[in-house]
Amino acid sequence: MLVFLVRRVALMVPILLLVSIIAFSLIHLIPGDPALVILGPEAPRETVEALRIQLGLDRPLPVQYASWLGAAVQGDLGRSLVDRQPVAKLIRQRLPATAELAVLTFLLSILIAVPIGIYTSVRRGGLADWIGSVAALAGQSIPHFWLGIMLIMLFSLQWKLLPASGYVPLWVNAKANLLSMILPAFATGAREAAVTTRYLRASLLEVLKQDYVRTARAKGLAERVVVMRHAVRNALIPVITSSGLQIAALLGGLVITETIFTIPGFGRLIVDAIFQRDIPVVQGAVLFAALMVMCVNLMVDVVYSTVDPRIKLSGGRG
């Protein structure tokens, strides 16, 4: 187990390096001079030129990358080109909202998906199964932005139950925070719930056909015990895989929900930085996102072995 963890963490280093090179190359491949984009169309030309030199953008690209990397390995992610704020501070400011939203979304999706997934697979072919499947398909097909706007229309404008925006950090005002998070969590959670429901249902149907389940039933165990204790646990493996991927995607990919509900999150930080050609922010944020994805994957692997002791964590898995 320990060997496994050490090897996985060591493997992160080259991956992070690769990610940073790709991010650096991509942002430079997009046409648009950062100095010009930062200053905008109304800036005089000599100001643009002066800024380009001040920001070191006149140096060759490998030199720019090397100087960024040199600082980054010492823990200095640099400063935003736009307003000179430290990148680490910007990430720190933006992470809580996204992390909270990702966790709420995940909990909500599990809360919806697990009961529905189990129920529909046990009652396969019945009305409940049919409704559940249609709902899951709908949940997966409805785009976030549309669902988000619809939720605002219904809950904020029509029924005036929940605010359309107004995020405040959890530690400032917990009640206002949670109220403002309900709609966003639902807007993204609906899709995640749908995906998890479908995985769980398919996986559970597969498991319920297996011999040991028949044996358990033959032993005279109650159907509830058969399903909950014997089948579900085995059916969870693919669900954990998909949930892990979902959490990883949520941490970096909530930009649409963040935009619709004006939540100051991590996704918007990256997207804004790309549009502003704020290279150090893009670099730092992408690197951090990659790190989070790898950590989540690692956690998923650890959870595997807890749920299913047959999976051993040797160093060989990659």
Partner 1 sequence: MLHGRLVRLLSALLAVGLLVISGCSSSNPDSSTPSGGNTPQTGQPSAPKADVVLRIALNADPPKLDPHQSTALVDRQVFQSLFDKLVDFDKDLNVVPGLAEKWEVSADGKTYTFFLRKGVKFHDGTAFNAEAVKYNFDRMLDPNFASPRKSEISAVDKVTAVDESTIKIELKQPFAGLLATLADRAGMIVSPAAAKAAGVDFVNNPVGTGPFKFKDRLKGDSINLVRNEEYWQKDLPKAAGITYKTVTDENVKLVNLQSGQLDIIDTVPAAQVPQLKSDARLKVVIGPSLQYQGLWLNTTKAPLNNKLVRQAIGAAIDREALIKVVFGEVAVPASSPFAPGTPANNKKQAPARDLAKAKKLLSDAGQSNVSVALKISPSPINQQIAQVVQNMLGEAGIKVTIEQEEFGQLLDKLGKKNFDMAQVGWSGRPDPDGNIYAFIITGGGNNYSGYSNTKVDALLNDARIPTDMSKRVQIYSEIMAILDDEVPYVYLWHPQDVKGLGPTVQGYVPVPDGMIRTLNLTK
Site for partner 1 in 181-210 (CB under 8 A): 182, 185-186, 190
Q: Determine the Cα–Cα distance for residues 252 and 269; give it in Å rounded to an integer.
A: 10
Cα 80 from Cα 182, distance rounded (Å): 32
> What part of residues 89-128 is at the interface with partner 1 (CB under 8 A)?
90, 93-94, 108, 111-112
Applying CB under 8 A, among 156, 242, 297, 305 the residue interacting with partner 1 is 156
| Residues 18 and 289: beta-carbon distance below 8 Å | no
Q: Which of 152, 204, 231, 282 binds partner 1 (CB under 8 A)?
A: 152
Residue 56 Cβ, how far from partner 1 at the closest point, in Å? 14
CA 168-169-175 angle, to 5 degrees, is 70
For residue 284, give the 3-state DSSP assignment. Answer: helix
3-state secondary structure at position 250: helix
Candidates 13, 15, 43, 73: give the one binding partner 1 (CB under 8 A). Answer: 43
Smaller CB separation from partner 1, 251 or 270? 270
Which are the contacts of 300, defined by CB distance < 8 A and separation ≥ 6? 240, 241, 243, 244
Tokens at 165, concatenated: 């925006």
Q: In whole angstroms, what is the distance from residue 157 CA to residue 28 CA? A: 43
- For residue 81, which phi and psi values (nearest 5 degrees)? -70, -25
Q: Which window, 15-23, 68-76, 151-159, 210-218, contacts partner 1 (CB under 8 A)?
A: 151-159
Measured from the CB atom, the residue of 165 and 210 that comes closer to partner 1 is: 165
Given 36, 95, 202, 291, the residue binding partner 1 (CB under 8 A): 36
* Alpha-carbon span 318 to 187, nearest angstrom: 34
Regarding 61 and contact with partner 1 (CB under 8 A), the answer is no
Among 10, 175, 219, 316, binds partner 1 (CB under 8 A): 175
Q: Which stretch binds partner 1 (CB under 8 A): 20-28, 34-42, 211-219, 239-247?
A: 34-42
Interface with partner 1 (CB under 8 A), residue from 29, 45, 62, 125: 45
Comparison of 42 and 211: residue with beta carbon closer to partner 1? 42
**Stretch in the footprint of partner 1 (CB under 8 A) among 156-164, 205-213, 214-222, 282-290:** 156-164
Nearest to 200 by CA among 240, 227, 249, 228: 240
Among 6, 21, 26, 50, which residue sits at the site for partner 1 (rule: CB under 8 A)? 50
Look-up of token digits 């600082």: 71
Closest CA to 194 of 237, 153, 143, 235: 143
- CB contact at 8 A, 119 and 232: no
Q: Per-residue string for binding with partner 1, 261-300, x by CB under 8 A?
A: xx-x---xx--x--xxx-----------------------
Q: Is residue 39 near partner 1 by the rule CB under 8 A? A: yes
From residue 217 to residue 256, the character string flagging contacts with partner 1 as x (rule: CB under 8 A) and all else as - is ----------------------------------------
Distance of CA 84 to the CA centre of its chain: 27
